[in-house]
Amino acid sequence: MNTKYPLVFTAAALLGLGSSVAQAPAPSPLQLTLSQFQVQSVTVAGKVTEKLVASDQSAPGQIVQYGLAAKNVGNTELRNVKVVLPVQPGTTFVSSAGGLLGIRTEFSIDGGKNFAPAPLKRKVTVIEGGKSVTREVAVKPSEYQAVRWNIGALKPGETKNFVLRVKVQSP
């Protein structure tokens, strides 16, 4: 089945994790711009490479790349800037990029309530030898539900770019 699914973020979706996004009086000096691409494999000069095709539609099994640009459009430095990109329902986290030069990347497995750097761990209770035992186990990246980049300071006119890749699930 090759049904197309719209995967469009609204400003509300981007800012929906409230306290995780830099708070500023309206209008905000933090401008967020989201772009969406299908990641396609193509062969160029005998080598398989990737091609990004702008699209707001995707089919199950396709990889979608979101590009998020965070720009300070104000006149003063922004501090403690944190931007969040949720992993949309119907998709699975594949990878993220942008945690360079002092930018800390964190992940959430609870819909954006709590964030921590990878690898994430959770406690599970199992029965071993008739006894209840609590163990800490690694969380698979495919379980990530949101990515947060802690930018720190953002100077006037400065832009930082981030990438989130997800795989579209079958219905």
Q: Which one, of 170, 171, 157, lies nearest residue 69 by Cα?
A: 157
Does residue 109 register a pLDDT over 50? Answer: yes
Does residue 148 register a pLDDT over 50? Answer: yes
pTM for the model stands at 0.78
Question: Tell me: the pLDDT tens digits for 14-42?
Answer: 433 333 444 444 678 999 999 999 999 88
Of all residues in the chain, the percent with pLDDT exceeding 70 is: 84
Does residue 117 register a pLDDT over 50? Answer: yes
Mean pLDDT of 127-147: 93
| Pairing label, strands 30-44, 47-54 | antiparallel
CA distances to 39, 40, 48, 49, 53 from 45, in Å: 19, 16, 8, 10, 19
Which domains, and CATH codes, for the chain? 5-168 (2.60.40)
Structure tokens given for 70? 């965070």
84 contacts: CB under 8 Å, gap ≥ 6: 14, 17, 20, 21, 112, 146, 147, 148, 149
Q: CA 58, CA 120: separation in Å to the nearest integer?
A: 29
59 contacts: CB under 8 Å, gap ≥ 6: 2, 3, 4, 5, 168
Q: CA 84, CA 34: separation in Å to the nearest integer?
A: 12
Q: CA 141, CA 95: separation in Å to the nearest integer?
A: 8
pLDDT for residue 75: 95
Q: Are 6 and 130 in contact (CB under 8 A)?
A: no
The secondary structure of 8-28, three-state, reads: CCCHHHHHCCHHHCCCCCCCC
Mean pLDDT of 61-78: 95
pLDDT for residue 26: 60
Q: Which residue has the higher pLDDT, 84 or 13?
A: 84
For the chain, what is the mean pLDDT? 84
